Amino acid sequence: MELRHLRYFRVVAEELHFRRAAERLHIAQPPLSAQIRQLEEELGVELLARSTRRVELTPAGRVYLDRVREILDAVDVAGEQAQRVADGLEGTLSIGCVGSATYSLFPRLVRALRDELPGVDVSVRGEMLAPDQLTALEAGEIQLALLRPPVTSSRVVVESVRHDRLIALVPDSHPLAGRRELDITDLRDDEFVMHAGHGRSVINGLVSRMCAEAGFAPRIRHEVTETSTLVTLVAAGLGVSVVPEPTSALDIAGVRYLPVQPEIGIDLAAAWIPDPAAPVVEQALQVLRRIAAE
C-alpha cells in the first residue's frame, strides 16, 4: 500500500464518481479503477459499492475514509512543518549576550524574534562574558552570541552589528557628577569598579589601555562579571567605571552617566558557528541586522 492509494481513494470517496475523480486527479479512469481495486484486495474489504448508475461508500468504506483523511492530513502537516524547520521558521534558538547589550538591543531583538518567528522557541542565557559565550558556542549550548570582539576561534564567524562609545559612570554624590563631560584623567585618583580582568572581559582591557594612554593605571577596587552588579556598586559609592553607552538604559538610582574624553568606541558583534542543520540562526541574524540598523 502506498500513499497514492489513499489519496486516490479519498478523491473517489468524495466525488462518488470515477470519471470526475479521475479528472480531479489528472489521470485516466481505468488506472484509477484498477488502483482502487488493488487497495480493496490488499485490505480484503469492499470500500465502494459500484453499480451501473452510482458509486456508494460501504459502511467499511465510510470508516476507512475517516481514518484516511486523518492520515493524509497528518502527512501534509508533517511536510509543512519539515519545510518550515528547513527554512529556519521553526526550531529552537539559544542566545547568549554581554551585559551592556542586555538592557538595550537585546530586549528589542527578543521581542522581534517572538513576533516575526513565532515558531522558534527562543531561550536566553543572560549576561555572559565573551570567553564564556565562546565556550558555550563551541559546546553547542548556545547557537548565537552577542559579544565584544576580538574573537580568536577559527570556527566562529563574527559580524559587527553596532559600534558603542564608552562613557563614564560615577556616583551621583561624586564631586564631578555635575559636569557635562569628563576627561579620563579626571578619574585618576578614583577607585574603579570594572568587569573581570585576566582576559575575561574585552572592556576591562580597553579601559585599562585607555587609562594607560592617559598616564595612569586604574586602581581597581572591585571586579564583577555582571554589568548590573557593576552599576549597583557604583551607585553605592564603591568606585567609578567606564562602560559602553547602552549601559545607561539600566535605570538604577544613584549614578550619573557622563560622556568621557578621549572618545573611544567598541563594537558589539554577533558570533555563531555555521551549521547547515541550524537554519534558524540565519533567520535570527536577519532580524538582528534590521534591529541593530534601527
Backbone angles phi, psi at 49, to 5 degrees: -95, 115
Rounded average pLDDT over 74-89: 75
Per-residue pLDDT tens digits for 46-64: 989 888 788 899 999 899 9
Is 187 within 8 Å of 240 (Cβ atoms)?
yes
CA–CA–CA angle 79, 11, 64 (5° rounding): 85
Average pLDDT, rounded, for the chain: 90
Among 101-110, 176-185, 263-272, where is mean pLDDT lowest?
Answer: 101-110
Which pLDDT score is estimated for 86? 67
Claim to verify: residue 140 and residue 175 sit in the same structural domain: yes
- Note the pLDDT of residue 72: 87
Rounded average pLDDT over 202-209: 90
pLDDT score for 101: 77
**Domain shared by 178 and 198, yes or no:** yes
DSSP symbol at 141: S
Q: Which of 44, 68, 86 is the last residue of a domain?
A: 86
The whole-number average pLDDT for the span 271-284 is 90
* Paired sense of beta strands 265-272 and 144-147, if any: antiparallel
Q: What is the pLDDT of residue 87?
A: 67
Identify the domain boundary among 60, 86, 112.
86
Residues 168 and 48 in one domain: no
Are 112 and 214 contained in the same domain?
Answer: yes
Q: Per mean pLDDT, which of 1-10, 122-131, 155-164, 244-253 is the most reliable? A: 155-164
pLDDT of residue 54: 86
pLDDT at position 140, please?
92
Residue in the structure block whose three cell numbers are 461508500: 57
With cut-offs at 50, 70 and 90, classify the pLDDT of residue 212: very high
**Domain co-membership, 166 together with 193:** yes
More reliable by pLDDT, 259 or 91: 259
Residues 154 and 284 in one domain: yes
Q: What is the CATH number of the domain that holds 35?
A: 1.10.10.10
Domain span at residue 203 reads 90-294
User: Domain with 280 in it: what CATH number?
Assistant: 3.40.190.290
pLDDT of residue 221: 94
Please give the pLDDT value at position 294. Answer: 81
pLDDT at 5: 87
DSSP-derived pairing of the beta strands 55-57 and 219-224 = unpaired
pLDDT of res. 88: 65
**Domains: count for the chain:** 2
In the predicted model, is pLDDT for residue 14 greater than 80?
A: yes
Average pLDDT over residues 278-285: 91
Q: Are residues 231 and 158 in the same domain?
A: yes
Question: What φ, ψ does residue 245 adopt, rounded to 5°?
Answer: -55, -35
pLDDT for position 166: 95
Q: Which residues of 29-49 are buried (b: 16+ CB within 10 A; e: fewer)?
A: eeebbebbeebbeeeeeebbe
In this structure, the answer to whether residues 75 and 124 fall within a common structural domain is no
- Mean pLDDT, range 70-80, rounded to an integer: 84
Alpha-carbon torsion angle 202, 203, 206, 212, nearest 10? -120
pLDDT score at 199: 67
